[in-house]
Amino acid sequence: MSAPAILELDELSVDYGRVRVLDRISLSVRPGEVVGVVGESGSGKTTLAKAVLRAVDAATGSRILVDGRDVTRLRGSGLRAWRRAGAVQYVFQDPLRSLDPAVSTAESIVEGLRIGRVPAAEASRRRAAALDAVGLDEELITRLPGGLSGGQRQRAAIARALVVEPRLLLLDEPVSALDAASRDRVVQALIALRDARGSDLAMLVISHDIGSLAAMSDRLVVLDRGRIAEDGPTRRVISRPEHPYTRLLIDSVPLIHTPRANRPSRAPVRS
Ligand code: ADP
């Protein structure tokens, strides 16, 4: 029997006024899995992320389950308590939205733990584990975020999310703003993270760029104007797309690297 999903969306719909922008989206993210959601601008990717974070309301009939718990209708103190517990952590496209430019990167990384009143020794253990997971040196994070490269900043933002020990990382265009070399290192860091954490963690990565998603995702979900066009293992979706819209996305990218079938676990690249 397969393990229960960390995230399960069951016929998720979202309306903005009278316009339906997500239409009966069903997908699941299992422990240890990286699922990429790809679609053009306006296809509903951000709305999907907001719905999972419970920042927009889902329409009647939708269900959002996190680790088996139905969070679709949480409100008020119940919603605040769920957020505080931190099962879902969101990583912005722009890491400067989560790292305070005026304090050391190290301080920003553990900020979320102060709110949860995690003792100092435990906080530094988690910080070291998170840095190791994304391949960042302790020395580097003594700097302000402005003193880091774009890729290092993004890995620091991922470390900041990891210290909370989430079940699901929700990454929004994690590499789209980076140059090619930084992009590669962040993709490698995410692959290494997935291999290291195994079933403790799952990731949902949203992007318009099927090329970078294919490199890190086990499965691809293709979103076309608020509906799922297809959902399947990355290699199959890339090599034999079933939907013309997927073909269009693939043809817009010069070269796509898909994950190898049996990935050796890899130590994160350090810098
Ligand atoms: P993506 O992230 O894929 O670019 P979005 O989720 O931002 O897509 O948008 C999906 C659709 O919803 C688009 O047609 C967009 O114009 C519309 N939309 C997004 N936010 C709002 C809003 N706050 N009010 C009304 N329509 C919105």
For ligand 1, the distance from its centroid to the CA atom of residue 208, given in whole angstroms, is 14
**Per-residue pLDDT reduced to its tens digit, 241-255:** 999 999 999 998 877
Question: To which H or E segment does residue 186 belong?
Answer: helix 180-197
In whole angstroms, give the CA distance from residue 202 to residue 50.
Answer: 17
Confidence at 113, pLDDT banded by 50, 70, 90: confident
| Neighbour count for residue 257 (Cβ, 10 Å) | 13
Tell me, what's the pLDDT at 253?
Answer: 84
pLDDT at 4 over 90: no
pLDDT at 257 over 80: no
For ligand 1, the distance from its centroid to the CA atom of residue 267, given in whole angstroms, is 38
Which residue's CA lies nearest to atom 15 of ligand 1?
A: 42
For residues 251 and 241, the answer to whether their CB atoms sit within 8 Å is no
Class of domain 1-84+208-261: alpha beta
Among residues 114, 202, 113, 119, which one has the least CA distance to residue 164? 113
**Per-residue pLDDT reduced to its tens digit, 134-176:** 999 999 999 999 999 999 999 999 999 999 999 999 999 999 9
Which of 35-39, 87-91, 189-193, 232-236 is the least confident region?
A: 189-193
Pairing of strands 202-207, 19-29: unpaired
Q: What SS3 class is residue 112?
A: helix
* Tokens representing residue 181 in the block: 């070399």
Length of the chain: 271
pLDDT at 69 over 80: yes
Is the beta carbon of 45 within 6 A of some atom in ligand 1?
Answer: yes
Confidence at 262, pLDDT banded by 50, 70, 90: very low
In whole angstroms, give the CA distance from residue 249 to residue 262.
Answer: 26
In a mutational test of the pocket of ligand 1, which residue from 21, 52, 56, 249 has the highest number of ligand atoms less than 8 Å from its CB? Answer: 21
User: What's the whole-number average pLDDT of the chain?
Assistant: 91
For ligand 1, the distance from its centroid to the CA atom of residue 44, given in whole angstroms, is 6
Is the beta carbon of 21 within 6 A of some atom in ligand 1?
Answer: yes
| Neighbour count for residue 121 (Cβ, 10 Å) | 8
Where do the structural domains in the chain lie, given as residue ranges?
A: 1-84+208-261
Confidence at 271, pLDDT banded by 50, 70, 90: low
Tell me, what's the pLDDT at 266?
Answer: 44
